[in-house]
A and B are shown apart, each in its own frame.
Chain A
């Protein structure tokens, strides 16, 4: 077991990082916001952590706290104009946000290192830290299932008018979703920076954006297991099918199309739909369908 973990720990670390980033994407999609800003928010977290660790020598706890806080604040600011948009317009606006962040990372050389990025970042994060962070986020997501906030997320995602007519505050609920998403993305951006020695703008571009979206759509947007299953499949698949690893983005794109066509609710949510039991009356084969009020 230990030799297995030793041999595969880089892959396990990558899987844990992807799970965390996928949760950041999951939370906004679950709340019915079509945001793809997470690559940008993750890069903000990563650069925050890298700058604090390399230039100011701040330790693990401080850097992660700051990267989480910065991600959270930027996401809240981003959510304010996005509250006026819906659907594909939200997607376009958040795509523009990612481009702006990456352009700033590219041209603010004095701060971000430009195209070469930031190097010699101290490696302060190992598998145990990643595992703890993923478990903490997973607990938070699981807890949301029993909260009114989780209930509101599901209602808004499925029918915004119904949600509003039952008293759900659409705008403020989505601000909370963005805040959670920003905090998670900032945290895992920080973890990426403190785990991989160096970061550069290309890491957080279009491929990451597509990957995160694919992980959640593949796994499922409703169940908290969706991002884990999606991240696991899309992290392990290129490793299992080595010849495909150079065309990772292409594979993700093709899988997205296939899933949208054949499993529009994702793997976990489709299985969840099958697992719901049939009504007792139908199981018993009773023909009468007239209920007694």
Chain B
């Protein structure tokens, strides 16, 4: 399922944070969304996920119109995100945070859960097994029972990504997922993102790490002061004079 943005705009009072942005993010590919600080990248992610409402334009995903949907309804269509500033349940354990990602896939009824029917217990067991599988994938297994607030920033980022994968996304929006990580860690995560895209998920990657972006993204979209100034293949986009000027100045 592909994500389509058409003439998306967002106005905050007198500030036009996003202006007439149009692009597609296709399944099985990583689309990079780049731009200087304040370009409107995170605002765009907030618009896609329904946290902010659009001023103009439309957003579609898999043939459905997300434009006026609530964040919950957007999430239930398989659109999952991570946050620029890590947002986790700090008073819960690592495994509980990841298990929360499976929330919308739960099938057992409230009554079955409360009574503790075998089917409900089996579902809980399955969720925990899958959560531990994701923790292993992200190298977090030793921290499974640790309170998230006691983890380092880098590990908290990984927990957030594991939680996003637990939600079994059709579209994954990653907002600066390798910020603060070294090259080795960034490459490890880049490999994971590529494998996710290869499995058929559409990935929209907001990132400042140009080495990572140019190595794993099939398409790039560049924003500057809310406007889309370039889009296309990474090599062509990164050598575009408008993009160079936006990053380096006149």
Contact = CB atoms under 8 A, between A and B. Distances in A.
Interface of A: 140, 143-144, 146-149, 151-152, 154-155, 158-159, 161-162, 164-170, 222, 265, 269, 273, 276-281, 289-293
Contacts of B99: 151
Contacts of A155: 89, 100, 103
A161 B50 CA distance: 10
Interface string B63-97: 00000001110111000110100011111110010
B7 interface: no
A158 B92 contact: yes
Given A154-B92, A158-B92, A222-B91, A166 B110 contact: no
B158 to A, nearest CB: 7
Contacts, number: 116
Contact of B80 (A159, A161, A165): A165
Given A151-B100, A166-B167, 15 more contacts: A143-B113, A146-B116, A146-B124, A148-B108, A159-B87, A162-B83, A166-B80, A166-B100, A166-B104, A168-B103, A276-B147, A279-B142, A280-B142, A291-B140, A293-B188
A185 B80 CA distance: 38
The B interface, classified by DSSP as helix, strand, loop or mixed, is helix
Report which residue of B71, B74, B188 has the largest number of chain A beta carbons within 10 angstroms of its beta carbon: B71
Interface of B: 49, 51, 70-72, 74-76, 80-81, 83, 87-93, 96, 99-101, 103-104, 106, 108, 110, 113-116, 120, 124, 137-140, 142-143, 145-147, 149-150, 152, 154-155, 158, 163, 167, 184-185, 188-189, 191-192
A222 B135 CA distance: 24
B142 A293 contact: no
Contact of B71 (A147, A164, A279, A293): A164
Contacts of A162: 83, 87-89
A293 B192 contact: yes
Report which residue of B92, B167, B189 has the largest number of chain A beta carbons within 10 angstroms of its beta carbon: B92
Contact of A168 (B72, B91, B140, B147): B72
Nearest to B108: A148
Nearest to A139: B114
28 contacts: A143-B115, A146-B113, A148-B106, A148-B110, A154-B89, A158-B91, A159-B87, A165-B71, A166-B75, A166-B104, A166-B163, A166-B167, A167-B72, A167-B76, A169-B72, A273-B147, A276-B150, A277-B146, A279-B142, A279-B143, A281-B143, A290-B185, A291-B138, A291-B139, A291-B155, A292-B188, A293-B191, A293-B192
A94 B126 CA distance: 40
Contacts of B106: 148
Nearest to B49: A165
A207 to B, nearest CB: 30
A291 B158 contact: yes
